[in-house]
Amino acid sequence: MKIEPTQVNIAKIIKEQTKLEESEEVVHLLLIEWYLRKQLSTKKLAGKVKLPLPLVSAIKKELVKLGLASNKVGTGLTRKGKLYVEQQLGWAAINKEYYLKVTDSKEEQASLKEVMAEELTVGIVGRPSVAVAYDQAFATIETIVERAFLLLEKPDFINKHILFLGDDDLSSLAVGLLIKKLKASGRTKSIEKLTVYELSPDVIHCINTSAKKMDLDIVCQHLDFREGSLSKYKNQFDYIYVDPPYTLSGLKLFLSRAISCSRLEHAHIFLSFGEKAPKNQLALQKLIGLQNLVIEKIKPNFNQYSGASIIGGVSTLYELTTQIDSYPAVLAESSYSDYIYTGELRPRNVVYQCCRCGKEYTVGLYTEMTIEELKRKKCSICANDTFLRIDTKKLPDLQEQHSLGKHYLIELKNCPKEKLTSVPLVEQLMLQIADGCKLTRVQHYFHQFEPWGVSGVIILAESHLTIHTWPEKNYAAVDLFVCSDLSSESHFTSLLLTLFEGKEIECRCIIRGNVS
């Protein structure tokens, strides 16, 4: 019995029948877990796929109806169900017993990691020097092996499209090697669908050469993510690895490109980023939330680097998932002109002195020379390759960003109806708030809705203050946009709560118009 790809979409049918809110992929995940571990109880299966027991029971009933599972006690998938997992989900290519051995045994997993690290150390050839101008700092071999093993936590990765959005760390080689280790004996047909988009020709050459040596199937394409040329790559990939530059602008661009390339609703993004300053950590979280991504896991200090002193030699690994309404802040069709590398945003020249003859060299953004290149070329006088850093000269910032203003979005809840119903009272309170916050009123207008509800706007010299009320819900939405700092943000929110007698307030501040 062979299940053809043209047959009905089983996961889609079950999603509709069970009113499943999660993506269709969770049905495949359940099938795979059942296939791998055979007679799993409903409770254990629910734990594996992280779904409520009643929902797992409902999915199992639908699988029985479709002939993929048996409802007899002590049985699991039918022959048809097993064939579906093997043929449609790619598990015919995998040594199931070895996979379970690796995933269920810490000793076996540690042994495989050690073997892979040794093979990668020997197998990687022609690796270029670190390009510090592009915020490069190579992850250790042990780290890229750990990145590959992240896939084992998600058994639906087999037969999926995996993208490496920039890969100077060579994580693609580790992932390719892991999948090769898991292949069924005698399996010659490639199951890897690994793609690398990379800017550096030297890195691409290294990956191609090393992959050929290790008999791995990896496709590399030269791509500059700043160019708006990703339209043809949209929504193709299920798993995406991305390790962006150290800047928030670089993070914004690379994360946007990852979303553009991902299959929405269920794709997984492994993001490595090392920002530690609290305000930048908050900016990172806001950027993730803004693009409607879900943070599944956060693994601090997961990535270890050789160098990367600017981030302390380590970075955090964020496991993100896309939703059906996830979207990129920078569209796939749009180019990106902001500076994205640390050297561009905070340029400086550094003076090094040859440790043998004392000759001085200046390296930095405007010299088109890095310390790595200087060491490789050696001193032009004595051919020495060791240098001492003796001076740093900060250059004028190429781009100083500033915002056009702050936009406060406020939700007032559980307010008395009488405070929200009539224009005279709402108008009086809003004008009192504007004056209390020392905002300059220019003009105002308030409108009465029938049977109740008020909308109003106060034009300010600083921008605007608006309100929309829903008395029947005891709720008001307030919007303040100012092009200069408030004298006190806490005073503003306190006035709102006090005057409208709200019991609860939610306030978000958005920085508007980050421009150079």
Domains and CATH numbers, the chain: 10-89 (1.10.10.10), 97-322 (3.40.50.150), 346-394 (2.20.28), 405-512 (3.60.90.10)
Average pLDDT, integer, range 225-253: 86
Predicted confidence (pLDDT) at residue 3 exceeds the cutoff of 50: no
**Using 50, 70 and 90 to split pLDDT, how confident is the model at 394?**
low
Predicted confidence (pLDDT) at residue 506 exceeds the cutoff of 50: yes
pTM beyond 0.75: the answer is: yes
**Using 50, 70 and 90 to split pLDDT, how confident is the model at 235?**
confident
Q: How far apart are the first and last CA of the chain?
A: 63
pLDDT tens, position by position, 274-313: 866 787 888 888 889 889 999 999 999 999 987 555 556 8
Residue with tokens 């001085």: 360
Q: Which residue has the higher pLDDT, 214 or 335?
A: 214
**Which residues are registered as beta bridge partners of 360?**
353
Q: Is 403 known to be catalytic?
A: no
The DSSP-derived string for 459-503 is EESSEEEEEEEEGGGTEEEEEEEESS--S-HHHHHHHHHHHHT-S
Give me the chain's average pLDDT, please: 86
Q: Which residue has the higher pLDDT, 39 or 20?
A: 20
Catalytic, out of 422, 444, 483, 509: 483
The distance of Cα 152 from the centroid of its chain, to the nearest Å, equals: 19
Looking only at Cα atoms, what is the longest distance across the chain? Answer: 89
What 8-state DSSP symbol labels residue 139?
Answer: B
- Distance between CA atoms of 141 and 123, rounded to whole angstroms? 11
- Residue-level pLDDT at 268: 95
Q: Is 262 known to be catalytic?
A: no
- Distance between CA atoms of 151 and 153, rounded to whole angstroms? 5
Average pLDDT, integer, range 94-119: 95
Shortest CA distance to 57 belongs to which of 66, 70, 45, 75?
45
Q: Is 464 known to be catalytic?
A: no
Predicted confidence (pLDDT) at residue 417 exceeds the cutoff of 60: yes
- C-alpha triplet 512, 513, 516: angle, nearest 5°: 145
- Distance between CA atoms of 344 and 338, rounded to whole angstroms? 10
- The tokens describing 62, both together, are 């639908």
Average pLDDT, integer, range 95-100: 94
pLDDT more than 70, % of the chain: 88
What 8-state DSSP symbol labels residue 273?
Answer: E
pLDDT tens, position by position, 456-500: 999 999 999 999 999 999 999 999 999 888 878 889 999 999 999
- Residue-level pLDDT at 428: 96
- Residue-level pLDDT at 248: 84
Q: Are 295 and 271 in contact (CB under 8 A)?
A: no
The 10 Å CB-count burial string (b at 16+, else e) for 357-377 is: eeeebebbbeeebbbbebeee
